């Protein structure tokens, strides 16, 4: 397998290190290329193992769709209309799918749509062996992190680090490379002087140098040169970026090619063009500033990168008296700092994209926990340090029965570790996989979807966009209820709770039938990272237009579909085809599997390709809770519900009395590998 990497590698900057031992380059592009090569190799292997199934999968995909670009570059605004044609087509035939559309109340809350007893888009779909084979291909179900928000900003800009000698470039956008004709390896680690040429005004260059020395922003226009010697008028904006302490962290340099707007007599950009362009470059700099803050400061000491994992964890109200917390607090009350030697390894529970999970026992207590261990070097090489830190921050805020509790976290020389609840029921994926036809009956699907909905509602209230909902990330507790796990791909922002009061009709008094106020709490900011799990990713993540918490409602629709039909609706023969299906393919339901009209209508409303029209986009979980599919759910008492019986009961796991004795190595990994079951 060969991959051309010269455009992407850091070049000399790959081996150039900062005084703290970390690379100068802000993004490790070699990791990106390795992941892409592995994906391509996996696709080839799968095709050779099952050529007929892949051929059939291709034949039943979206007709007339060649595929979509799946790298970090978002679609242009003009292409957005084409990507939503499937949505518009579906909406134009509402009478055939049993919907009359939504109505909006005076309070701005979407009221429940009126449903008619027609069948929603059922279709006789060939059951390929991808539906029936026992072996589930878990490799394509790993969470992917194709690009950070920073990498998806389609503007000309660079980031430099003034704390390093000569203020070198540590990041360059793809658009900047296209404009200047240089490769990334040619400019990372260099100063921006390579853009200067014979007609570059040195007085303007001096103004830029003075601004750098004085740590202030400046906007100028000057002549610069591409690699081939072609000159262009550059409207250049320099903006300092400061950390939380107000100390200078980076410089952001935004370029705008204004060659087509030069006034011949003045030999410079017109005043009007300069003013309008200045607004654009300043707005770009603000977007870059916000995106860079998602990443750790490249100049931190290595020990500071992981400092959050050494911070103490305190019990939150709902579980502070649980046996697990009592056992933990007995140790901390003695003044001890909990670390790896306080735990005895029992057995491995699994491994994911960023680490492995072990069942451990707090020594001399009998209390069992799950320990997630992530290797530091892997996190660094794969641009995931900020992901690990975000997960630690998010999980420390959680205090909900359907979400994990963080009891402690610590680090070893090579690993960072999180100690959370042990869920003996394992992954919901495994439970689903053992059922006949790998699907649930509707009562079970409704139960699990309702609990996941409540978990997402709580996360959104905290300002967390989950971004990686799938059966693999849903664990089953001893009581049969769910726990949502894995927050390394989540986005943490602020949340502005609001109470929407329903206005009284004119000339009428308040009556008992008057609906109570609606509490709405959804994250307020958007992100543009390219993350998620391939089959669950929402259209707006692929197109790069920015995404909000509505992507979690899309994922809820995919999740419900998979529970009821045994597969996801848009899966293609490879990632490119899957993304093409998500953008363009109409949603259909196999007629061979009996599913209620209400379930299909809910899935259809959640899988709206337009996020603004998606169920849940206006007033969050309240819209979804009111859907007829959930009419039998008593939401306030959902914790008291007994899980519906499954055709194949859940096998709860625990200690393996026949397993060999295992112990930790000094760096925090298991000495002897033992089987999962």
Nearest Cα to 156, choosing from 224, 211, 68, 213? 224
372 annotated as a binding-site residue:
yes
Distance CA 160, CA 236 (A): 14
HEC secondary structure over 87-149: HHHHHCCHHHCCECCCCECCCCCECCCCECCCCCCEECCCCCHHHHCCCCCHHHHCEEEEECC
Note the residue count of the chain.
677
Distance CA 415, CA 187 (A): 33
- Where do we find the tokens 């830190």? 389
Instruction: Read off the tokens for 211.
Output: 């601004």
- Where do we find the tokens 């543009």? 528
Nearest Cα to 251, choosing from 157, 186, 187, 151? 157
Distance CA 551, CA 610 (A): 11
**CA atoms in the 13 A half-sphere facing the CB of 17:** 7
At 567, is the secondary structure helix, strand, or coil?
Answer: coil
Integer angstrom CA distances of residue 172 from 107, 175, 419, 477: 46, 8, 38, 46
Count Cβ atoms below 10 Å from residue 135 Cβ, excluding itself: 7
Beta strand residue intervals within 95-226, DSSP E: 122-123, 143-147, 157-160, 169-172, 218-225
The two beta strands, 122-123 and 589-590, are parallel
Q: Interior CA angle at 478 toward 477 and 481, to 5°? A: 45
Distance CA 491, CA 114 (A): 34
| Residue 161 appears among annotated catalytic residues | no
- Residue of 145, 161, 421, 468 marked active site: 468
With b meaning 16 or more CB within 10 Å and e meaning fewer, what string describes 530-558?
Answer: bbbbbbbbbbbbbbbbebbbbbbbbbbbb
Distance CA 335, CA 320 (A): 19
Nearest Cα to 199, choosing from 176, 231, 167? 231
User: How far is C-alpha 640 from the chain's CA centre?
Assistant: 31
Which residues, 6+ apart, have CB-to-CB distance to 514 below 8 Å?
Answer: 502, 504
Distance CA 112, CA 534 (A): 31
Q: Interior CA angle at 466 toward 465 and 468, to 5°? A: 140
Beta strand residue intervals within 387-504, DSSP E: 408-411, 415-420, 464-465, 474-476, 482-484, 491-492, 498-500
* Rg of the chain on CA atoms, in Å: 27
Beta strand residue intervals within 445-550, DSSP E: 464-465, 474-476, 482-484, 491-492, 498-500, 518-520, 530-533
Distance CA 294, CA 422 (A): 30
Separation of first and last alpha carbons in the chain: 34
Q: Which residues are catalytic?
A: 468
Indicate the annotated binding residues for ATP.
372
Indicate the annotated binding residues.
372
């Amino acid at each position: 397998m060969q991959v051309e990497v010269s455009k992407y590698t850091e070049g000399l900057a790959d081996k150039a290190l900062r005084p703290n031992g970390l690379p100068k380059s802000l993004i490790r592009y070699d990791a990106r290329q390795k992941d892409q090569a592995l994906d391509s190799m996996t696709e080839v292997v799968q095709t050779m193992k099952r050529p007929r199934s892949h051929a059939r999968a291709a034949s039943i995909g979206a007709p007339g769709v060649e595929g979509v670009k799946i790298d970090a570059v978002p679609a242009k605004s003009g292409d957005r209309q084409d990507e939503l044609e499937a949505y518009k087509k579906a909406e134009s035939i509402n009478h055939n799918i049993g919907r009359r559309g939504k109505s909006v109340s005076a309070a701005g809350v979407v009221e429940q749509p009126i449903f008619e007893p027609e069948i929603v888009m059922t279709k006789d779909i060939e059951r390929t062996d991808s539906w029936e084979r026992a072996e589930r291909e878990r490799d394509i179900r790993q969470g992917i992190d194709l690009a950070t928000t920073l990498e998806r900003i389609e503007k000309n800009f660079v980031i430099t680090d003034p704390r390093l000698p000569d203020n070198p470039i540590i990041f360059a956008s793809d658009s900047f490379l296209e404009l200047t004709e240089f490769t990334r390896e040619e400019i990372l680690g260099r100063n921006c002087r390579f853009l200067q040429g014979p007609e570059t005004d040195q007085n303007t260059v001096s103004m830029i140098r003075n601004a750098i020395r004085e740590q202030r922003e400046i906007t100028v226009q000057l002549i610069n040169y591409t690699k081939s010697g072609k000159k262009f008028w550059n409207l250049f904006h320099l903006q300092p970026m400061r950390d939380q302490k107000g100390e200078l962290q980076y410089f952001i340099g935004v370029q705008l090619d204004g060659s087509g707007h030069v006034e011949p007599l003045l030999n410079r950009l017109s005043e009007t063009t300069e003013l309008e362009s200045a607004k654009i470059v300043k707005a770009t700099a603000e977007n870059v500033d916000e995106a860079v803050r998602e990443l750790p400061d490249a100049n931190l000491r290595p020990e500071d990168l992981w400092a959050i994992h050494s911070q103490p964890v305190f019990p939150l109200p709902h579980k502070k008296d649980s046996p697990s917390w009592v056992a933990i607090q007995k140790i901390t009350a003695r003044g001890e700092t909990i670390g790896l030697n306080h735990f005895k390894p029992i057995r491995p529970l699994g491994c994911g994209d960023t680490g492995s999970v072990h069942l451990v026992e707090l020594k001399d207590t009998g209390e069992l926990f799950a320990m997630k261990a992530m290797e530091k070097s892997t996190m660094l090489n794969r641009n995931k340090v900020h992901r690990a830190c975000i997960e630690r921050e998010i999980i420390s805020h959680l205090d909900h029965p359907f979400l994990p509790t963080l009891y402690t976290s610590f680090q070893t020389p090579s690993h960072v570790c999180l100690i959370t609840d042990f869920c003996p029921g394992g992954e919901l994926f495994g439970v689903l996989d053992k059922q006949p036809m790998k699907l649930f009956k509707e009562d079970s699907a409704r139960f699990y979807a309702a609990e996941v909905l409540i978990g997402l509602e709580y996360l959104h209230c905290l300002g967390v966009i989950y971004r990686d909902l799938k059966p693999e990330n849903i664990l089953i507790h001893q009581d049969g209820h769910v726990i949502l796990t894995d927050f390394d791909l989540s986005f943490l922002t602020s949340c502005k709770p609001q109470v929407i009061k329903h206005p009284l009709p004119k000339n009428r008094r308040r009556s008992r039938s008057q609906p109570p106020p609606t509490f709405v709490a959804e994250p307020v900011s958007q992100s543009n990272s390219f993350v998620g799990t391939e089959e669950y990713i929402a259209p707006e993540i692929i197109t790069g237009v920015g995404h909000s918490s509505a992507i979690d409602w899309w994922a809820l629709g995919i999740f419900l579909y998979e529970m009821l039909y045994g597969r996801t609706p848009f899966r293609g023969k490879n990632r490119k085809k899957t993304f093409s299906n998500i953008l363009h393919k109409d949603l259909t339901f196999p007629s061979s599997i009996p599913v209620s009209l209400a379930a299909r209508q809910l899935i259809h409303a959640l899988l709206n390709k337009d996020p603004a029209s998606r169920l849940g986009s206006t007033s969050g979980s309240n819209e979804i809770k009111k859907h007829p599919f959930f009419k039998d759910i008593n939401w306030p008492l959902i914790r008291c519900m007994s899980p519906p019986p499954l055709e194949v009961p859940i096998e709860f796991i625990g200690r393996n009395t026949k397993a060999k004795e295992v112990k930790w190595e000094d760096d925090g990994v298991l000495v002897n590998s033992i089987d999962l079951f």
